[in-house]
Structure 1
Amino acid sequence: MSLALVAGEPSGDMLAARLLSGLRPHLPQARFHGIGGPKMIEQGLESHWPMDQLTVRGLLPVLLRYRELKGIQNQLRDQLLAERPAAFIGADYPGFNLGLEEQLKAAGIPTVHYIGPQIWAWRGGRIKKIQRAVSHMLVVFPFEEEIYRKAGVPVSYVGHPLAELIPLTPDVVAARRQLGLAEDASVVTIMPGSRMSEIKYNTVAFMQAAKLLLQRDRTLRFVAPMAGERQKQYFLQLVAQAGLQDIEIQLLDGQSHTAIAAADAVMVASGTASLEVALFKKPMVIAYRMMELEWQILRHFGYQPWIGLPNILAREFLVPELLQHDANPQALADAMWKQLSDAPHRERLVQRFTDMHHSLLRNSAAESAAAVLKVIERTK
């Protein structure tokens, strides 16, 4: 038996790796192949292309690389149609995976999509394509189950893997020791994003905000986890070009969870990282900047007032969100200062984020694997 999987970025790599860890005991002789990152490869995936070739975010960057991405999709489609795996599993990355799933499902190959596209946030019309493309949807937030069920898409809520990976009570002292930080230091973690486009548009504003924060408290320590060497060098280049290299900041190779655990507060680009910060029970400011033309297009597509996952799950502005022009250095610094200095607010956040953590906690490896096994069994 073979199963095909595709992840296009680190968050999908993590999701699919958890699923593979649940499937392997049940399918010890199965061949798992497709496109994935280091975590999937550790679980035995044979990756036909480097996952980095797919990692691109944003409307215009995708358009610029459309022919390349479409070529990879077509090659993989032809390979899978000839092979006919027991199932195809798309891990997030809907722009690529849903198109591939639609073609495979039409040819009779069952398809599973792991982590429902955020049709509740924007692009609700995508549900029609999902109906055509997906044999079974796996969702990571409780409220999503009803949305897909109403649309007639078979669905399973499997919990969020991050809720299992992150402890309910983070060990701040251990994290600081690991990073060589004093236990009583005031620590701000800066997370401008893992993608090159995010680093490009967020880095300078984040670091200028750090400079303003230092004017209020010279004892602040700054830490920034980097997704890879390429991202680290680009970050340093942007900092130097902006004349901000005099700001002392500890750059880490990975170790994002350690950096969050060690923090008093986090300045974070919107995305999965903001949920990680919430699960670590940390105050935060969520921010996001992008190419101006892209912002003018996308700003009209949202269905709700929040973009940060913690706020979406809470259905209120638990933490500040600053987007595009509002994500300027002074606004970022002011919002971060409140997160650092408002003790009652920090205590409220710990309780709200703890409740959120419990709501997302399941054995995601076992439950997602069980759903995939049922899909396979129905097609035997």
Structure 2
Amino acid sequence: MIRIGIVAGEASGDLLGSHLIQALKQKRSDIEFVGIAGPKMISEGAKSLYPIERLSVRGYLEVIKHLWGLLKLRRELLNHFLSDPPDLFIGIDAPDFNFWLERKLKNKGVKTIHYVSPSIWAWRKNRINKIKKAVNQVLALFPFEPALYKEKGVPVAYVGHPLADMLPIEPDVAGAREILKLDADALIVAMLPGSRQSEVQQHADLFVQTAKQIFAQQPNAIFLVPLITRETRRIFELAIFNEHEALPIQLLFGHAHDAMEAANVVIVASGTATLEAALLKKPMVITYRMSNMSWQLLKRMRLQPYVGLPNILAEKFVVPELLQDDATAEKIAQTALDLVNDKEKLAAIKSEFTDIHYQLKQNTAEKAAIAVLSHLK
């Protein structure tokens, strides 16, 4: 039996991991997976030694608060793998957690693969030297990443992004509206405040106030807010209650894809959801708020003027970004309405995002599985 150690750090990693496990099992039936996995990976047969939520911490201050627990968990996981070494270890994203683990395992003779390049093209570029010591290969999701690794002599394979394989080139807006029982003529605004509790805490009041601003100008507007946990739903419900005003906000359990596909415009916290919105060819306003200390640290280390994945991939501001102090309800609302009313801009956005879709559509799980199998006897 081939044994693969695998660690994913959040929902997007769980999705990548589940597709990879499925593709690997189709090629070889004698592989088992153990480490830290989310529900999708577990449903494909992975054994999770710890809940994936233990790793879902974002922002410098938030990480510091949970640091002792994260270090203890990482040490326990390392001891587990050293006592019973896997044939291969795959770290999926979660770079600060996984690179340490990968380096320790590689030094003990375990082959290591890191799936998802950290954003060395955006900040902390010097990490590439640490990555070289930690991994036998990087599996990169974006087409501009391999050149950065090859320049430093790090083995790398471009595998594309699984969302580009999953989503159709042409979105079905009418079908999504039918699924969600929405008026075909309504102005639908999808609002995605993030997947973590800390993100929703930062964005809930802002998004509710933005909805209020839009509704004042567009009384036919309906706001869809997909959330994935009871805790994040509770935070958003409290923000609605605190506004003391009846607004057409529909909270959804999941259904982020349907909400974005049905929407005229998307207001989204920076992260993987921005890429999904782009692949659905949606105009969007990218926003983000974090603690001021985290923001000041991040600002000093940024290498690019944009933070949203669609803009990074296009290497220009295709869609607007309103971050930190610029992230006010008035600015976000007006920017979103300006986008919806600019037909020329909407056509240009759709064209750019279609080009990005074709670039990223690479049959990712298959390519990643082939790369992984090349390291196994």
The 8 Å contact of residues 207 and 244 in structure 1, kept in 2 or not, is answered as no
Instruction: Quote the Cα distance in structure 2 between the aligned partners of 1:169 and 1:300.
Output: 39
Provide the residue aligned with 1:291 in structure 2.
291
**Equivalent residues in 2 for 1:37-56 (5 A)?**
37-56=38-57
* Equivalent pair of 1:136/1:375 in contact (CA under 8 Å): no
Aligned twin of 1:168: 169
Q: Which residue of 2 aligns with 1:129?
A: 130
Could you tell me which amino acid in structure 2 is paired with residue 293 of structure 1? Answer: M
Secondary structure of the corresponding residue to residue 356 of structure 2:
helix
Identity among equivalent positions (%) equals 43
SS of equivalent to 1:47: strand
Aligned position for 2:212: 211
Does the alignment pair 1:233 with 2:234?
Answer: yes
Matches within 5 A, 1:48-67: 48-67=49-68
* 1:347 CA displacement: 1.1
- Secondary structure at the counterpart of residue 346 of structure 1: helix
Once the 2 structures are TM-superposed, how far is the Cα of residue 100 of structure 1 from its aligned partner? 0.6
The residue type paired with residue 232 of structure 1 is R
Give, in angstroms, the shift of residue 29 of structure 1.
2.1
| Kept after mapping to 2: 8 A contact 1:89/1:111 | yes
Contact 2:188 2:263 in 1 (8 A): yes
Paired residues for 1:216-295 under 5 Å: 216-241=217-242, 243-244=243-244, 246-295=246-295
2:204 and 2:178 map into 1 onto residues whose CA distance is 26
- Aligned pair count reads 376
**Aligned-pair distance for 1:245?**
5.2
The corresponding residue for 2:99 is 98
Residue type of the partner of 2:227? M
**AA partner of residue 347 (structure 1):** A
Equivalent-residue separation in structure 1 for 2:125 and 2:106 (angstroms):
21
Query: What's the counterpart of residue 343 of structure 1?
Result: 343
Retained in 2: the 8 A contact 1:140–1:160? yes
TM-score, normalising length: structure 2: 0.98
Task: Work out the CA distance in 1 between the residues paired with 2:271 and 2:245.
Answer: 27
Residue 234 (structure 1) shift: 1.5
What's the CA shift string for 1:114-133, capped at 9, x where partnerless?
A: 00001000011111110111
Other-structure match for 1:361? 361
Amino acid at match of 2:369: A
Q: Residues 296-345 of structure 1: CA distance to partner in whole angstroms, max 9, x if unpaired?
A: 22111100101000000111100000110100111111111112111111
- SS state of the match for residue 25, structure 1? helix
Structure 1 residues 249, 28: closer, same or farther in 2, change over 3 A? same
Secondary structure at 2:374 match in 1? helix
Amino acid at match of 2:232: Q
Match of 1:159 in 2: 160
User: Please, what is the CA RMSD of the aligned residues?
Assistant: 1.0
Give distance in 1, aligned partners of 2:265 and 2:164: 19
- Unaligned 5+ residue runs, structure 2? none
Equivalent position of 1:78 in the other structure: 79
Residue pair 1:200, 1:238 contacting (<8 A) in 2 also: no
Whether the 8 Å contact between 1:266 and 1:277 is mirrored in structure 2 is yes
Kindly indicate whether the alpha-carbon contact (under 8 Å) linking 2:115 and 2:139 is maintained by their aligned counterparts in 1. yes
Comparing 314-323 and 245-254, the one that deviates more: 245-254
**Separation (CA, whole Å) in 2 of partners of 1:110 and 1:79:** 16
Pairwise CA distance, 1:240 = 2.3
1:182 Cα deviation from its structure 2 partner: 1.2
Does 2:373 align with 1:373? yes
Asked if the contact 2:208–2:239 (Cα under 8 Å) also holds between the matched residues in 1, the reply is no
Rounded to whole Å, the distance in 2 between the matches of 1:246 and 1:7 is 40
User: Following the alignment from structure 2 to structure 1, what is the Cα–Cα distance between the partners of residues 223 and 36?
Assistant: 35
CA distance in 2, matches of 1:93, 1:244: 39
Structure-1 separation of matches of 2:65 and 2:173: 43
- Counterpart Cα distance in 2 of 1:256 and 1:217: 23
Query: Per the alignment, do residues 260 and 244 of structure 1 end up closer, same or farther by CA in structure 2, a change over 3 Å counting?
Result: farther
Instruction: Report the CA distance shift for 1:281/1:98 in structure 2 as closer, same or farther (over 3 A).
Output: same
1:184-227 CA deviation, whole Å, 9 max, x = no partner?
21100000111111111111112111111111111111101002
- Equivalent residue letter for 2:85: R
Q: What SS is found at the alignment partner of 1:375?
A: coil
Aligned mates of 1:244, 1:103 — CA distance in 2: 54
Residue pair 2:203, 2:288 contacting (<8 A) in 1 also: yes
Task: Report if the CA contact (8 A) 1:282-1:350 is conserved.
Answer: yes
Segment drifting more, 168-177 vs 227-236: 227-236
| TM-score using structure 1 length | 0.97
Contact 1:224 1:251 in 2 (8 A): yes
Say whether the 8 Å CA contact 1:288–1:323 is kept in structure 2: yes
Offset of residue 260 of structure 1: 0.5
Matches within 5 A, 1:13-28: 13-28=14-29
Q: 1:160-199 alignment to 2 at 5 Å?
A: 160-199=161-200
What amino acid is aligned across from residue 5 of structure 1 in structure 2? I
**Alpha-carbon offset, residue 246 of structure 1:** 2.1
Query: Structure 2 CA distance, aligned partners of 1:238 and 1:48?
Result: 35
Question: Which piece of structure 1 moves more, 270-279 or 296-305?
Answer: 296-305
